[in-house]
Structure 1
């Protein structure tokens, strides 16, 4: 149903303007609907069950126009085949010719427990640092992380030239934790708490999971030291930190009535 347009009221006359006929709806609805683009059809997804657009059925509005035989050079009354082939080539190079993205870490993650390590020592609480100690104990008992930080600054030179390096400081704590049998204070980490997480303060109870996230982020920063600040995110996801702690989160809501996602 088409609604009639509203005309501005005039204090002198209640009659519509003389040229108001051009604003009236068209009488031939079929002619009007023919001017509209066809409706988009959706199909049910094969894996998720959600509605999706059929691939290749619709052309993107910003796609490169396809070549036609119109306005092409002609040979003996026919469009030149060589010209058509050249014009139909996509500006995007094929996947076989694309350069592979650089890998920041090409090593193999060793999931076995390091032979030179024993059960880690305890960590002293120096005043509401239990949240920090519990997160450190998780990191100090992660086998692939122990293998990598044990080689840090030895077989794998540190990339941090100036400032704080989480990998170096965590290595100091790991060496002391697995080399001694007595409890100690992880000073290389506790003294740099506000460097790891600016909003956290010593002596104040903080969240252990939140500190763990900032500690892993600090490890990622030590891996990206020396690289351009605006590094391609896909390249940044190839560090050993992402190999160990990275992942993808997928959320799905299922209807209890019809069981559709």
Structure 2
């Protein structure tokens, strides 16, 4: 049921083309360049931006009064799409500990780590709409918009130096 419901509109998001959008810069809020670069990249990820500007997450959000990264990121994308001048991403930067447990405001952090936490947060929010990660079967967890955009498999291959046996392992 989830697969059919979610995949029918995803193609539209991947083909979305809004010629009116222009890049918008972000202000550095004290060692925030690691997050700024990722926020700018995510803000130009076509299917993600199409979803947020055309359909929107906020209408479906189940976090009510709790802070939601996906809602905040939608606000960020809306602001970036309407502004021609750099603006401060402080609403996201000030919540780094909510995004990833080890991230902290005012410290230089790793951009890749921030990206993984941000994508994981969006995936978790998508799964929350269907009862949470524990309620959604693993095969259906791969059918969210976030998984379609950023998902893939990591293959690890190890060869034994004694018997030359090859072991392949795959993980999301």
| TM-score normalised over the length of structure 1 | 0.54
Tell me by how many angstroms 1:224 deviates: 1.6
Which residue of structure 1 aligns with residue 154 of structure 2? 249
Structure 1 unmatched runs, 5+: 1-100
Tell me by how many angstroms 1:194 deviates: 0.9
Residues 1:152 and 2:52 aligned together: no
Q: Secondary structure at the match of 1:145?
A: helix
Instruction: Flag the structure with larger Rg.
Output: 1
User: Could you say if the C-alpha distance between residues 116 and 187 of structure 1 is closer, same or farther in structure 2, counting changes exceeding 3 Å?
Assistant: farther
Q: Which structure 2 residues correspond to residues 137-176 of structure 1 after superposition, within 5 A?
A: 137-150=40-53, 151-153=55-57, 157-176=60-79
Structure 2 unmatched runs, 5+: 167-172
- CA–CA separation in structure 2 for the residues paired with 1:121 and 1:102: 35
- The answer (yes or no) to whether the contact 2:29–2:90 under 8 Å persists in 1 is no
Tell me by how many angstroms 1:175 deviates: 1.3
Tell me by how many angstroms 1:116 deviates: 6.0
User: Could you say if the C-alpha distance between residues 252 and 226 of structure 1 is closer, same or farther in structure 2, counting changes exceeding 3 Å?
Assistant: closer
| TM-score normalised over the length of structure 2 | 0.79
Q: Which structure 2 residues correspond to residues 124-135 of structure 1 after superposition, within 5 A?
A: 124-135=27-38
The structure where helix makes up a greater share of residues is: 2
* Higher RCO structure (Cα 8 Å, ≥6 apart): 2
Tell me by how many angstroms 1:233 deviates: 1.8
- The answer (yes or no) to whether the contact 1:152–1:167 under 8 Å persists in 2 is no
- CA–CA separation in structure 2 for the residues paired with 1:153 and 1:246: 19
